[in-house]
Amino acid sequence: MNRKYLYGPVSSRRLGRSLGVNIMPHKTCSLDCIYCECGKTTNLTLERKEYTPTAEIINELAAYLKEKPQLDYITFSGSGEPTMHSGIGEIISFLKENFPQYKVAVLTNSTLLNDPQVREDIKNADLIVPSLDGVSKEVFHKIDRPHENVSIEEIVSGIRKLKEISSGDIWLEIFIVPGVNDTPEELKLFKEILEKINVTKVQLNSLDRPGIVDWLKPADKEHLKKIAAYLGNVEIVN
């Protein structure tokens, strides 16, 4: 079978055997994160539209899943922000109606979560993993280099509202950049926010493969453990 949108299944540290679904054109994203494994964002945008034909994605999924593969998750991720695709809700509904035996996960950079339609589209996923790499504007901008219309206040508000309506788990991911978002001041802000949004779980991640800027280094394990102990209810994934 010729695959355009599906990749894997890959063995994921967090998700087990996960079939990846990449519904966005390469590096079309609302952020240009310094740690992105897919390279620099070439189309920095916040526009939500049908970037790739929804029907084609559904057909590819249907053809693959009818063979009854063994999977722990079908995961929307890849080299762009999946919630910018206006068909994601239709694809998730299709999976839930036709292949309810499979769990669906959405990895998102959180920038569109303040849009009620986006929350509605993904609320039935079994797992949503939103990222939040900074709470202060300065730190958020240094790590995630957002589109000019992205606001950190809207991101936090979006995650909180998603938590209220989501039927699945929400694991918030924080990518620790030593010397940038691990200062006492920033960690205090994270702690305050985490108490307010009350997600299922928080995960700390750190550099695994080379990022985009050369000054980026992985966080030391012991240091990650101290951050996890300070924030509470936190798991280290890397």
Residues in the site for ligand SF4, rule: CB under 6 A? 29, 31-33, 36, 38, 41, 79-81, 109
SS3 label, residue 40? coil
Of 65 and 146, which has the nearer Cβ to ligand SF4? Answer: 146
CB of 39 to ligand SF4, least distance (A): 8
Rounded to a whole number of angstroms, the minimum distance from the CB of residue 153 to ligand SF4 is 18
Q: Give dist(CA 127, CA 103) in Å, integer.
A: 8
Comparing CB distances to ligand SF4, the nearer of 76 and 102 is: 76
24's CB contacts (< 8 A; 6+ apart) are: 51, 52, 78, 79, 80, 81, 82, 84, 85
CB of 81 to ligand SF4, least distance (A): 6
Q: Tell me the β-bridge partners of 191.
A: none
Query: Are the C-beta atoms of 105 and 15 separated by less than 8 Å?
Result: yes
Nearer Cβ to ligand SF4 (68/209): 209
Q: Which residues are paired to 172 by β-bridges? A: 202
CA nearest neighbour of 87 among 118, 133, 108, 44: 118
| CB of 38 or CB of 46, closer to ligand SF4 | 38
Distance CA 7, CA 9 (A): 6
DSSP structural state of residue 96:
H
For ligand SF4, the closer of residues 9 and 211 by Cβ is 211
Q: Minimum distance between the CB of residue 106 and ligand SF4, rounded to whole angstroms? A: 12
CB of 80 to ligand SF4, least distance (A): 6
